[in-house]
Amino acid sequence: MKKVYIKTFPEYSIVYDDLVLSREGGPGPGDVVFVYHKSGKFIGSAFYNPHSRINLRIFSFKEEDFDYEYIKRTMKRAYDYRKSLGFENSFRLVYSEVDFMPGLIIDKYQDGFVFQVFSIGIEVRKELIIKALIELFDPLFIHEKSTGHLRKLEGLPYINRTVYGEIPENYIVKINDVNFKFFVGQKTSLFLDQSENYLKLLNYVKDGFEILDAFCYVGGFGIHFLRKNVNVTFLDISKDALNILQENLKINNILGSYEIACSDVFDYLKSCNKKFDFIVLDPPAFTKSKEKLENALRAYDRMHKLAINLLKDNGYLATFSCSFYVKEEHLLESIKKVSKENFIILETLYQSKDHPWTLKFSESLYLKGFLLRKI
């Protein structure tokens, strides 16, 4: 087996190029290598990519190959773990480094799968990934949605295509017994990472509430809330997302009423003269780099200030960040800075447990939020 020696023991499974000391056996892009400390102590088995800032992605702390048997065994272990937590219909099946398959995301939508690849080690073994999915799950379809900046960092082209079977027309999937139309949109389709938070926030919704679901996308929070006798204003700038939202509204039994606003969220918050009992702020990532953090924090300050002005006394505010670089403390400091009122923190919110995060891979925790109540 080809070998790579590095300067220090890594904190987690990613090793950057400046830590690499030497190579043996002439490893090339996507090869599996054994990684050693400069002292000669074995560290793990990894994908190698000399053309990326991330030279090594460790997938095992044993001496083993990333072959078909490894893929099938590791994929089944990931599936069994999610099943043990109670996930049934639609959930994240494989979450990259956390599931010992670095650079691979697989989301399950009922009987179909969507996967993303952002490491060259997975890229050259994609056919084995597809074969394992077919053998383990006999799926209706498998779609590859490999896009995003991480592909560029690995020197890989964008891919968006169905690689097995066919996606049925009007394919409906369930999240918490709520129906959603499947489509290939942002990320893999729906935002499965909020599935547990939909129910947590629903516990605080009372009949008669006026609710604003800002950055609503295809209606994840608001459609859950419409199980109660409330009025929801769905707000998003994307006409395509709102068109799918309208289809989602039709396929669910809705008790409450709703209205749909297609607008820039900041413009809407600034001009709105209506007050709300409950406001959900679930924006896209305002930054994907540490260098742009200050700009992102200014955007949060502005957003929070505008939203709080529309909140009734004793109203609820849920605010989220899906950027790794915007932390929990940033969200709380922002609200403290822009608000004259005081708030009680009712819930600390994270990505659902099918997107597990680990202590030794801090980047695995990206979604965080709070539910607060104005007092």
Express each pLDDT in 205-240 by its tens digit.
999 999 999 999 999 999 999 999 999 999 999 999
On whether both 90 and 129 belong to a single domain, the answer is yes
Tell me the residue range of the domain where 36 lies.
2-60
What is the arithmetic mean of pLDDT over 182-195?
87
CATH number of residue 224's parent domain: 3.40.50.150
pLDDT at 223: 98
On whether both 342 and 228 belong to a single domain, the answer is yes
pLDDT in tens, 3-47: 999 999 988 899 999 999 999 999 999 999 999 999 999 999 999
DSSP 278: E
On whether both 129 and 277 belong to a single domain, the answer is no
Q: Is the pLDDT of residue 154 over 90?
A: no
**Helix (H), strand (E), coil (C) string for 43-99:** EEEEEECCCCCEEEEEEECCCCCCCHHHHHHHHHHHHHHHHHCCCCCEEEEEEHHHH
Give a yes or no: residue 180 inside a domain.
no
CATH number of residue 79's parent domain: 3.30.750.80
pLDDT at 75: 98
On whether both 136 and 88 belong to a single domain, the answer is yes
- Rg of the chain on CA atoms, in Å: 22
Handedness of CA 307, 313, 316, 319 (dihedral sign): positive
CA separation (Å) from 96 to 58, 109, 121, 186, 218?
11, 18, 12, 18, 26
On whether both 202 and 341 belong to a single domain, the answer is yes
What is the arithmetic mean of pLDDT over 254-274?
97
CATH number of residue 31's parent domain: 2.30.130.10
Q: Is the pLDDT of residue 243 over 90?
A: yes
pTM: 0.94
On whether both 33 and 98 belong to a single domain, the answer is no
Given pLDDT bands bounded at 50, 70 and 90, which one contains residue 189? confident
On whether both 40 and 78 belong to a single domain, the answer is no
On whether both 195 and 148 belong to a single domain, the answer is no
On whether both 73 and 49 belong to a single domain, the answer is no
Structural domain total, the chain = 3
On whether both 239 and 319 belong to a single domain, the answer is yes
Of the candidate ranges 181-185, 254-258, 262-266, 295-299, the one whose mean pLDDT is the lowest: 181-185
